[in-house]
Amino acid sequence: MFQQTNPQVPMLLSAHHIPAMGPEHRRMLLGRLDGIRHSDLAAALGVSPATVKLWVSIASAEIGMCLPPGVTLTPELRGVWMFAHMECCLGKPPEARDLHLSQPSVIPGTPPAAWRRV
C-alpha cells in the first residue's frame, strides 16, 4: 500500500534526473517495471540473481538521493520516479528497450525464449 507522509516527495522524485544512469541499472529498473523477477532477469542477461539485486539496489540508491531525511524509497516510490522519467532518464520507449519481450511467457515465472540482449 502506498503511504505518502511528505507531500513534497512526488515533486522531489519528478525533479530528480539521473541522465548518467548506467545501462545495466536502467535495464534492471525497466525489467522490474515490467514485473520481471530478479531470477528471470538474471537468466536473460547471463548474470547471477545477486548481481541483478545489486544493480537494482544501486539504481534505487541513486533515485533515493533526492528524498528528505526520514523518507525511505519504497518500491512504490521507485515506480513513481520510473514513470516520471521513462523518456528522459531511462532513455528509451518500451519498444526499443535493451531487454524486451517479443512475446509473453507461456508459463508464469519462466523466462520466455524471446528474451534477448540487444
104 vs 60 pLDDT, higher one: 60
User: CA of 20: how far to CAs of 17, 107, 108, 109, in Å?
Assistant: 9, 36, 33, 31
User: What's the mean pLDDT in 1-18?
Assistant: 79
What's the average model confidence in pLDDT over 10-14? 92
Supply the pTM of this predicted model: 0.69
Cα–Cα distance list, 18 to 25, 50, 54, 87 (Å): 11, 23, 18, 12
Mean pLDDT score, 11-22: 92
- Structural domain spans, the chain: 9-117
Q: For residue range 69-104, list pLDDT tens digits in order.
A: 989 999 899 999 999 998 889 875 444 344 444 334
What pLDDT score does 65 carry? 94
